[in-house]
Amino acid sequence: MVTRVDGMRLLAAGVGGDVVPARAQMATTLGFHIILACLGIALPTVVLLAEFIGLRRHDETAFRLAQRWSQGMAVLIAVGAVTGTVLSFEMGLLWPGLMRRYGAVLGFPFGVEGLFFFLEAIFAGIYLWGWRRLPGWTHWWSGVPIAVSGILGAMSVIAVNSWMNQPGGFTQRGGRIVSINPWQVYFNRAAIYEMPHMILAAYMVTGFLVAGVYAAGILRGRQDRYHYTGFALGFVPAAVLTPFQIFVGDTAARAIAHGQPVKFASMEYVPRTSRHVPEWLGGAYVNGHIYGGVKIPYLDSLLAGFGPGTKVIGWEIVPAAYRPPVVWLIHLCFDVMVTLAFLLLLAGLWALYEWWRRRRLPPQRPFWWAGAVSGVAAVVAMECGWVVTEVGRQPWVVYQLQTTAAAATTNGGVITSLSIIIGVYAVLGTATILILRMMARRWRRTDAVEAAVPYGPNPAPQDLTEGEVGR
Amino acid sequence: MAADVVGGILLAGITLYAVLGGADFGGGLWDLLAGTTARGRAPRALIDESITPVWEANHVWLVFDLVIFWTAFPHAFAAVMTTLALPLWLALAGIVLRGAGFAFRKEITRPSLQRAAGATFAFSSLLTPFFMGTVIGAIATGAVPAVASHARLAAWTSPTALLAGFLFVATCGYLAAVYLTGEAGRRGDRRLQAYFTYRAQAAAIVAGALSLATLAELRNANPALYARLTGRALPLVITAGVCGLAVVVLLAAGRRGPGWPSLTRVIAALGVAAVVWGWGVAQYPVLLPGTPVTLANAGAPPATMVAIIAIFIAAVLLVGPSFALLFSLQSRRLLGAGEQGALTAATPAGRPRRPSPNGHPGPTARSATLGMIAIAVIRRLRHH
| Strand partners for A172 | A177
- Angle between helix B302-331 and helix B55-72 axes, rounded to 10 deg: 170
Using the Cβ of B93 and the Cβ atoms of chain A, whether some distance falls under 8 Å is answered with yes
**What residues have CB less than 8 Å from B67, skipping those under 6 apart?**
A88, A107, A110, A111, A113, A114
Residues of B in contact with A138 (CB under 8 A): 361, 366, 369-370, 373
Residues of chain B neighbouring A96 (CB-CB closer than 8 A) = 77-78, 81-82
Neighbours of A5 (CB within 10 A): 10
Q: How far apart are CA A245 and CA A42, in angstroms?
A: 15
User: Which candidate from B81, B100, B315 shows the least CB-CB separation from A78?
Assistant: B100
Q: CB contacts < 8 Å between A and B, how many?
A: 266
Contacts of A449 (CB under 8 A, 6+ apart): A459, A463
More confident residue, A15 or B94: B94
**Are the CB atoms for A209 and A308 separated by under 8 Å?**
no
Are A83 and B284 spatial neighbours (Cβ–Cβ below 8 Å)? no
Flag whether residue B342 sits within 8 Å of chain A, measured between CB atoms. no
Nearest to A104 among B63, B85, B301 (CB): B301
| Contact between chains at B325 and A126 (C-beta distance less than 8 A) | yes
**Chain B hits for A60, Cβ within 8 Å:** none
Per-residue pLDDT, B370: 55
pLDDT tens, per residue, chain B with 384 residues: 888 999 999 999 999 999 999 999 999 999 999 988 888 999 999 999 999 999 999 999 999 999 999 999 999 999 999 999 999 999 999 999 999 999 999 888 888 888 899 999 999 999 999 999 999 999 999 999 988 888 889 889 999 999 999 999 999 999 999 999 999 988 888 899 999 999 999 999 999 999 999 999 999 899 999 999 999 999 999 999 999 999 999 998 887 666 688 899 999 999 999 999 999 999 988 889 988 898 888 878 888 999 999 999 999 999 999 999 999 888 888 887 665 443 443 333 333 333 333 334 444 444 555 555 555 555 555 554
- CA-angle at A347, arms to A345 and A350, nearest 5°: 110
A157-167 per-position pLDDT tens digit: 999 999 999 99
Beta strands in chain B (DSSP E): none
Q: Nearest by CB to A122, from B67, B102, B322: name it.
A: B322
Q: What residues of chain A, 393 to 452, have a C-beta less than 8 Å from chain B? A: 409-411, 413, 417, 420, 424, 428, 431, 435, 438-439, 442
Q: Closest Cα of chain A to B31: distance in Å?
A: 19
Q: How many Cβ atoms sit within 10 Å of the Cβ of residue A437?
A: 11
Residue ranges of A 37-96 with Cβ closer than 8 A to chain B: 71, 74-75, 77-79, 81-86, 88-89, 91-93, 96
- For residue A9, the distance in angstroms to the closest alpha carbon of chain B comes to 15
Q: List the one residue out of B206, B186, B290 whose CA is nearest residue B248.
A: B206
Is A99 in contact with B81 (Cβ distance < 8 A)? yes
Report how far residue A369's alpha carbon sits from residue A374's, in angstroms, rounded to the nearest whole number: 8
The distance of A106 to chain B (nearest Cα, Å) reads: 7
Instruction: Determine, for residues B70 and A138 on separate chains, whether the beta-carbon distance falls below 8 Å.
Output: no
Q: Are A118 and B64 in contact (CB under 8 A)?
A: yes
Judged by CB atoms closer than 8 Å, whether chains meet at A122 and B339 is answered as no
Do residues B322 and B22 make contact, with C-beta atoms less than 8 angstroms apart? Answer: no
- Range with the lowest mean pLDDT among A389-403, A406-420, B247-261? B247-261
Is A128 within 8 Å of chain B by CB?
yes
Query: According to DSSP H, which parts of A166-286 are helical?
Result: 182-186, 191-219, 225-259, 261-268
Q: Are the C-beta atoms of B300 and B72 separated by less than 8 Å?
A: yes
Q: Which residues of A touch B53 (CB under 8 A)?
A: 125-126, 128-129
Contacts of B339 in chain A (CB under 8 A): 131, 465-466
Q: What is the model's pLDDT at position A25?
A: 93
Q: What is the mean pLDDT of residues A2-21?
A: 52
Q: What is the ipTM of this complex?
A: 0.86
Tell me whether B56 touches chain A (CB under 8 Å). yes
DSSP B333: T
Residue A2 pLDDT more than 50? no
Q: Tell me which chain B residue has its CA closest to the CA of residue A56.
A: B360
Partner-chain residue, chosen from A124, A130, A182, that has the shortest CB–CB distance to B56: A124
Measured CA to CA, the distance from residue B68 to residue B72 in angstroms comes to: 6
B334, B45 Cβ separation under 8 angstroms: no
**Smallest CA–CA distance from B84 into chain A, residue:** A93
Q: What are phi and psi of A286, to 5 degrees?
A: -130, 125
Q: What amino acid occupies position B197?
A: T
| Largest interatomic CA distance in chain B | 68
pLDDT of the residue at B10? 94
SS3 of B191-211: HHHHHHHHHHHHHHHHHHHHH
Among residues A59, A106, A117, the alpha carbon closest in space to that of A84 is found at A117
**Whole-number Cα distances in Å, B293 to A245, B78, B160, B215, B276:** 48, 13, 21, 23, 20
The three-point CA angle A120-A126-A132 to 5° equals: 140
Which residue in chain B has the smallest CA separation from A82?
B96
Q: Which of A468, A58, A445 lies closest to B339, judged by CA?
A: A468
**Whole-number Å distance between alpha carbons of B6 and B77:** 14
Closest of A311, A266, A464 to residue B357, by C-alpha = A464
B67–A88 C-beta distance less than 8 A: yes
Q: Say if CB B73 and CB B369 are below 8 A apart.
A: no
Residue of A183, A208, A191, A206 whose CA lies nearest to A248: A191
Q: d(Cα B22, Cα A236) in Å, to the nearest integer?
A: 43
Q: Which residue of A has its CA nearest to B74?
A: A100
Distance in angstroms (rounded) separating the CA atoms of residues A15 and A393: 15
Measure CB to CB from residue A85 to each of B75, B92, B358 and give the nearest one: B92
Backbone angles phi, psi at A467, to 5 degrees: -80, -170
Residue of A nearest to B344 (CA): A465
pLDDT of residue A468: 38
d(CA B61, CA B76): 20
**Inter-chain residue contact B74 with A133, CB threshold 8 Å:** no
- Rounded to 10 degrees, the C-alpha dihedral A271/A273/A274/A278 comes to 30
B161 touches chain A (CB under 8 A): no
Is the N-terminal amide bond of A243 cis, ω within 30° of 0? no
